[in-house]
Amino acid sequence: TDIVRTIFIQPGPAGLGPYVNNRYTVMTMEDSVTDTIGTTFYVPADFASFGSVKAVLTTGVSSGNMYWDMDANWAAVGVSREDGTETGTVGTTTFSGTKLFHVIEPSDAMALSGLAAGDYVGITCSRQAGHANDTVNAAVDFHGLLFTYTANQ
């Protein structure tokens, strides 16, 4: 029987450097600028099909819209080019309530068509905090990604 699995992927350094915000290691997307944070990971050997990829974020505000997107590239070892690429459409996601963690998908959810076990994947999250549609008006801490997939059993 197949089983759904979720793995947590920490952000990789992208010139911003991780830091600890009292309790958690994060990378910060500052207010009023465009920040891009990325990560690279290996697709597990038991991968059968893609489910979703979501960002795990915290912010000190209780409401507002974050204007952002997610992009991905992937390839198998030994190929001379990328096997797949996906460019998200920038859109808004609403923060509401005083949650410690916000687990959100971009407004243009990823499909990652053609992704396979053994591929290496690079995913970037870009926040355009200076855009009029970004109304969070505060820094957003990026903890990482939740990658959900169906596994062969």
| pLDDT tens column, 59-109 | 888 889 999 999 999 999 888 777 899 999 999 988 887 778 889 999 889
- Measured CA to CA, the distance from residue 108 to residue 90 in angstroms comes to 7
Please answer whether residues 8 and 107 qualify as being in contact, where contact means their C-beta atoms are separated by less than 8 angstroms: no
- Measured CA to CA, the distance from residue 76 to residue 117 in angstroms comes to 9
Angle at 116 between CA 85 and CA 14, to 5 degrees: 50
Say what the pTM is. Answer: 0.89
Give the DSSP H or E segment for 148.
strand 140-151
Please answer whether residues 69 and 37 qualify as being in contact, where contact means their C-beta atoms are separated by less than 8 angstroms: no
* Distance, CA of 144 to chain centre: 6
Give the DSSP H or E segment for 57.
strand 47-59
pLDDT at 18: 52
The two structure tokens encoding residue 12: 């990789």
31 has pLDDT over 80: yes
Q: Which of 90, 149, 94 is nearest to 124 (CA)?
A: 90
